[in-house]
Chains A and B, each alone.
Chain A
Amino acid sequence: MKKLLCSPTLLGLIVACLLTNTFFSTIVLGSADYSSYVGNVAETAGIRVNDEFQNQLALLQEPKESPESYFLEYLRKDTNGLSNLYETFEASSIAKSEIAAYGITGDVARLLEEKCEALQASVDAKAKSGEALDLYLAGFTTHEHNALVFIWRMFALEGALIGVLMVLLLIGYEQNNRTAALVFSLRKGRRLMSAKLLAAMAVGLASFVLVWFASMAIYLALHPYLIHIWHSSVSSAFHIVFDSFVFRPFLTWDSFSLFEYAFAQLGISIGIVLSVMLLGFFIGMLIKNNYLAFFIFLVTVMVLYILPPTLASIGQIEMSSYVINHNPVRLWWMQEYWFTEGTRQYLWPRFETIGVASSLLVLSLLALLGYRHFWRKDLA
């Protein structure tokens, strides 16, 4: 672990990630002025669009012809007549629109229907809690939320890259220093690889969490208005998803405030980063050359990305594509749908949780197999 912590590569990667994230945090400032205004209003009027909120909004005055006066006007329009849409929303309509839009039939159609039927309980709970009436960032909620998810997806990508580089750097350390023949002939030499994996996972994970929190701090410093709506539900009526040619609300299985959703995202991202590190370890156990191992890792990532849609296009093994779609690469790609029903690409509820858990399980087994292979592998 000391070797990794002292590694200039790690420090360089962390700095590069922070710079990249700062850059992206800056360029997603599209609706900052209005969002900032909404955030300020939320600070005084609250985040729930109810009578009290409307009364507070009615009392607000802004100088004529000022940008704030326009923002106030927009906000009044945005919130005027806002209804608790979950009271009338039928989750089965999601499956229906997907089935109709893509001509889905058979077991896939049945499973999609079953999944959405199961989602109705969440809709009913949201109807009761009235979270559709949460202000979030009003008319720009979707844009801002997508910007946040984009940033989180960047973080997860960076975390995975740092993680896998840490794993490969550490398991190739003896090879790079020409100490492999000596070290692996020692009593605990080959056992060292498991210690290296644990060290790399600890350092990789700590680096990811550090980058995540530091980058979020930078993001929030650039978008301070988010703090005021931190406790708004992500399933606010202002958060709309365009899927299967229809607009629908962002419907999560459980109720999340933006604050909770950020940490839920972090949790799943950690699972993905760990999965990718295990994949890197498995490849590193099979391939001696670090650079070749990294190349094979990249190829594997591409295969994991294109395999599900490719399999889906082959009718007979369509169902397998839905299973393989739970791999960490596809999960990462579908980050914006985490904790929702996951669109027609996932047939079972809570795809992100199932995906991360099964990825960790499968890749842990693969890592174990790789380690066992290394135990009996010619090393020189």
Chain B
Amino acid sequence: MLTVNHVTKTYGNFTALEDITLEFSQGLYALLAPNGAGKTTLIKMLTTLIFPTRGEILLDGDEIIALDETYREKIGYLPQEFGYYKNHSPRQFLSYLAALKGLDKREAARKTDELLELVSLADVRDKKMRKFSGGMIQRVGIAQALQNDPRILILDEPTAGLDPKERVRFRNLISSLSKNRIVIMSTHIVSDIETVANQVVMFKDHKLLANNTPAKICKQLEGKVFETDDITAIDFAHMQLTERNEDGHTIVRFATDSARGAEIGRPVTPNLEDVFLYIYRDEAWI
């Protein structure tokens, strides 16, 4: 079990994360928050790139800083900004990273081929990466994160740059990987995790706001989300969520605490996107 125990991270007077306590066991954990909320800070602490100002992070009761390389050999990490050596081919790059992960050379070569196949890059395995698209680079990143068959897989905005087809494939892959390991995935794209996350962790104002299953998180908006095709008719406090076109009409989804919501709109089941927009609203209610 990976435990984040009252962790605070400050930079001078700025508090990036304040008193965060979390527990990760097997499954997919989605860190869901807008940019700047502290997701990447937590991830960098989980990957020992930065260290907590206060508090501790424990793996099976041992502090990860003390575990050092013993901890790092158990993690796979895809950073938000995945840099690479432009003159390397995916195979060369993965071989280099395998050496830094301390993997056996022969085993690493076998695993590299297998992973490049998995992320559909087998046919370009020996091509220099300088001409790769963003999606291809991201797939190289996903492959390297899986190289050491990590017990803890940490992915920071992993779907950035992927096309819809790749996104679905990735989602399925992550879902299957999370069956026997801890997968921690940071995103602000709700659809990436809505159907696959076992647990959603939300931050607001650099503090932990929620840590629950998607269903339970959505439940907090139950009875407060409605749809209407006449938004102008609403004369009470509400928050507009999303819009969609249906049979030539613009259907507006809105949230309200008012009992009159049901008079104007049709009650709908809240989804994670509704909760996200509701929690991270930056405008006053109309």
Residues of A at the B interface (CB closer than 8 Å) are 174, 177-189, 191-192, 376, 378-380
Contact = CB atoms under 8 A, between A and B. Distances in A.
Contact of B83 (A182, A188, A379): A182
Contacts of A186: 72, 97, 100-101
A376 B51 CA distance: 8
B44 A181 contact: yes
Contacts, number: 67
Nearest to B71: A187
Contacts of A376: 51, 65
Given A378-B49, A378-B50, A185 B83 contact: no
B50 A185 contact: no
Contact of B77 (A177, A178, A185): A185
B101 A179 contact: no
Given A179-B85, A189-B72, A380 B49 contact: yes
A56 B11 CA distance: 81
Contacts of A379: 49-50
B73 to A, nearest CB: 4
A179 B137 CA distance: 13
A308 to B, nearest CB: 36
A182 B86 CA distance: 15
A306 B81 CA distance: 43
A82 B101 CA distance: 71
A378 B72 contact: no
Contacts of B236: none
Interface string B98-120: 01111000000000000000000
Given A177-B85, A178-B83, A184 B97 contact: no
Given A178-B81, A378-B51, A185 B97 contact: no
Interface of B: 44, 47-51, 65, 69, 72-73, 75, 77, 79-86, 97, 99-102, 141, 144, 148
Contact of A185 (B79, B84, B86, B102): B79
A183 B93 CA distance: 11
B186 to A, nearest CB: 13
A180 B79 CA distance: 10
B49 A187 contact: no
Nearest to B75: A185
A66 B45 CA distance: 83
A189 B102 CA distance: 10
Contacts of A179: 83-85
B1 to A, nearest CB: 20
Nearest to A378: B50
A182 B82 contact: yes
A39 B28 CA distance: 82
Given A188-B100, A378-B50, A182 B69 contact: no
26 contacts: A174-B83, A177-B84, A178-B81, A178-B82, A178-B83, A179-B84, A179-B85, A181-B79, A181-B80, A181-B83, A182-B77, A182-B97, A183-B97, A184-B49, A185-B75, A185-B79, A186-B101, A187-B73, A187-B102, A188-B69, A189-B72, A376-B51, A376-B65, A378-B51, A380-B49, A380-B50
Given A177-B83, A378-B50, A188 B101 contact: yes
Contacts of B73: 187
Nearest to B46: A185
Given A182-B97, A183-B100, A380 B82 contact: no
Contacts of A183: 97, 100
Contacts of A178: 81-83
Contacts of B44: 181, 380
Given A182-B77, A379-B50, 4 more contacts: A177-B86, A182-B79, A187-B72, A188-B100
A189 B79 CA distance: 14
A84 B148 CA distance: 75
A74 B196 CA distance: 96
Nearest to A379: B49
A185 B80 CA distance: 13
B19 to A, nearest CB: 19
